[in-house]
Amino acid sequence: MTTLTENPNVAATADTHHGPAKGLKRWLYTTNHKDIGSLYLWFAFIMFLIGGAMAMVIRAELFQPGLQIVDPHFFNQMTTVHGLIMVFGAVMPAFTGLANWMIPMMIGAPDMALPRMNNFSFWILPFAFLILIMTLFMEGGGPAFGWTFYAPLSTTYSSDTTALFVFSVHIMGISSIMGAINVIVTIWNMRAPGMTWMKMPLFVWTWFITAFLLIAVMPVLAGAVTMVLTDKFFGTSFFDAAGGGDPVMFQHIFWFFGHPEVYIMILPAFGVISAIVPTFARKPLFGYASMVYATASIALLSFVVWAHHMFTTGMPLFGELFFMYCTMLISVPTGVKVFNWVATLWRGSISFEVPMLFALAFIVLFTIGGFSGLMLAITPVDFQYHDTYFVVAHFHYVLVTGAVFSIIAAAYYWLPKWTGVMYDVTLAKAHFWCSLISVNLLFFPMHFVGLAGMPRRIPDYSLQFADFNQWISIGGFAFGLSQLIFLALLIKACRKQGKPVDAKVWDGAEGLEWEVASPAPYHTFSTPPKIK
């Protein structure tokens, strides 16, 4: 998008101020966007492994029919905490980490606008998850009501550790709200001269819109958990029919948060893919403006489709029709995005470096998740799909092969910029192929299991589902193990084992981040670059 006329930063690797402090203090007190970005990314990766370990417990129990390893109560805790950790602990912090690292570098800002808040918003996060994971070891166990915590299962019928669950969700909420505010202020106020709105890279644009979604809906989630807390412990009856409340209202409030949340997890992914595809097609992104408008319209539509998660709760006909039509409509801007990526590839000069491999896998597999999403939107058919493994397959296609693959692609794309060395490409390719094959063995058969009628969130199933579940579990273990390759690769790269790279790591790459040296110096753009 942008080119530099004069660039003081290429050679200016020498620090204008000072380098990082040494030891633990550096990380505790840091206000540097790159440090905080790294913290977020490592935290997200650790959470990804912990949440993944819980998925392994789930898949081990479901390896064959019967109860073998865990009891149903613990199984429910595993599905719940797996969901919470992956959503709030892995995907969201990973995107915040990418935002921290890349947004200032992409818009030519010296740092994030509110560096101290940045530090705070990261450092409260580990405590939130410490509390959440701790509840698993307490009397009564952790939350066992699904990550959607429908009342009254989460109120009258839950264990007392629900109070800690609520506290933990509050902290996660505050953290992501602060992160989002920081992103908005940075993008609004700190763009380099000449970096006009329509010159911003798409990653910045998608994050900008995501940040608005975050500040709009995370407070609503905070409200929902607060109501759960007061219903359970302080005698209110928001969701208790006996006291004049309505349990279905919980679902309305939750999904008013929950559906935009889905887009919070996928919009930045669109930004990442829109950065990678043009680089390795060596051709500018097709339809930049329509990408921006499509992102904005997806974000707006996400506020009026929430009840498509609730078709079976007994809505009147007009409600079902309204939410069906709105939901179907979302596939138009989403389709535009996919078409734009394909058009970008068309008549390019394509090469298949690792980030590109993940990005291409993203386009295909995310689109499959999009198709099943469209199928789920059709109310009468949704009655059959709802709460089955078909839904599980759908949201894992959009979240794992969608959001997570885009995060991995981003890591492979920018890692040389962060570390200054090229990572071990053989390992990276092994990681890609192992992940690609195992993730499809893991999630594709779930479509069939769901269509055949297996409900989600059950620890045991009837015999007809046995063979498929065995294969799904094998796929699950393989996918879990594949991520250890990534871990090994990241450790090697962070120890700077590898060939040093130039400022412009990829020959087709465009953008300000490729104008600074590799590794990116501790302080970049202390004097703003000039943009044509």
Partner 1 sequence: MKLIKLFACVAIAISFVSNAADKAVEMPLNMTKGVTQISAEVYQLHMTILIICAVIGVLVFGVMFWALIHHRKSKGAKAANFHESVKVEIAWTIVPFLILIGMAIPATRTLIAMEDPSDADLTIVVTGSQWKWHYQYFEHDIDFYSVLATPREQINGRWDKGENYLLEVDKPLVIPTDKKVRFLMTSDDVIHSWWVPDFAVKKDANPGFINEAWTKVDKAGIYRGQCAELCGKDHGFMPVVVIAKEPEEFDTWLADKVEEKRKAQEEEQRLLAMNMTMEELMSEGERVYLASCASCHQPNGMGLPGVFPGLVGSPIALGDVDAHINIVINGQTGTAMPAFGKQLSKKEVAAVVTYERNAWGNNTGDLVQVKDVHEFVKRSL
Partner 2 sequence: MTRANLVLLRKLVLVVFGMFLFGFALVPLYDTFCEITGINGRIIVKAEDSDADKVVSDRRVKIQFLVKTDAKNEFDFKSNQKFIEVKIGELSEVSFEVKNKTSSLQLAQAVPSVSPGTASLYLNKTECFCFSQQILQANETVVYPMRFFIDEDLPEDISLLTLSYTLYQAQSVQASYSKSELDKGAS
Tell me which of 215, 466, 478, 517 binds partner 1, using CB under 8 A: 466
Tell me which of 144, 222, 277, 399 binds partner 2, using CB under 8 A: 222
By CB under 8 A, residue 153 contacts partner 2: no
Contact region for partner 2 (CB under 8 A) — 28-36, 159-167, 248-256, 346-354?
Answer: 248-256
* CA pair distance 491, 400, nearest whole angstrom: 22
Dihedral, CA of residue 305, residue 310, residue 314 and residue 320, to nearest 10: 30
Give yes or no for a contact between 248 and 310, defined as CB atoms under 8 angstroms apart: yes
Look-up of token digits 């409900």: 455
Applying CB under 8 A, the site for partner 1 has a residue count of 106
Tell me which of 242, 380, 426, 532 binds partner 2, using CB under 8 A: 242
Tell me which of 253, 272, 276, 439 binds partner 2, using CB under 8 A: 253
By CB under 8 A, residue 177 contacts partner 2: yes
User: Residue 528: helix, strand or coil by DSSP?
Assistant: coil
In whole angstroms, the minimum distance from the beta carbon of 108 to partner 2 comes to 16
Q: Which is nearer to partner 1, 145 or 525 (CB)?
A: 145
By CB under 8 A, residue 235 contacts partner 2: yes
Residues 256-295 that bind partner 2 (CB under 8 A): 256-257
What does 15 interact with, of partner 2, partner 1, none (CB < 5 to 8 A by kind)? none
By CB under 8 A, residue 305 contacts partner 2: no
Q: Write each residue from 317 to 336 as x if it is in contact with partner 1 (CB under 8 A), else as -, in one continuous string.
A: x--xx--xx--xx-xx--xx
Contact region for partner 2 (CB under 8 A) — 134-142, 308-316, 447-455, 505-513?
Answer: 308-316
Alpha carbon of 133 to those of 78, 126, 185, 266, 272: distances in Å? 10, 10, 33, 26, 31
Look-up of token digits 């790459």: 509
Alpha carbon of 186 to those of 38, 103, 141, 183, 194: distances in Å? 18, 8, 41, 5, 15
Q: Which is nearer to partner 1, 311 or 486 (CB)?
A: 311
By CB under 8 A, residue 304 contacts partner 2: no
Burial class (CB in 10 A: 0-12, 13-18, 19+), 186: buried
- Write out the two tokens for 159: 């264990």
What distance, in Å, lies between the first and last C-alpha atoms of the chain?
A: 10
Q: How many CA atoms lie within 13 A of 65 on its CB side?
A: 9
Residues 208-247 that bind partner 1 (CB under 8 A): 241-242, 246-247
Spacing of C-alpha 503 from chain mean position:
28
Applying CB under 8 A, the site for partner 2 has a residue count of 38
* CA pair distance 511, 509, nearest whole angstrom: 7
Residues 71-90 that bind partner 1 (CB under 8 A): 71-73, 76
What does 189 interact with, of partner 2, partner 1, none (CB < 5 to 8 A by kind)? partner 2
Q: What is the CA radius of gyration of the chain?
A: 23
Cis, peptide link before residue 8, omega less than 30° from 0 = no
By CB under 8 A, residue 189 contacts partner 2: yes
Residues 354-383 that bind partner 1 (CB under 8 A): 360, 363-364, 367-368, 371, 374-375, 378-381, 383
Q: Which residues fall within 8 angstroms of residue 248, CB to CB, at 6 or more apart?
A: 310, 313, 314
Q: Which residues bind partner 2 (CB under 8 A)?
A: 113-114, 177, 181, 184-185, 188-189, 215-224, 227, 235, 237-238, 241-244, 246, 248-249, 252-253, 256-257, 314-316, 318-319
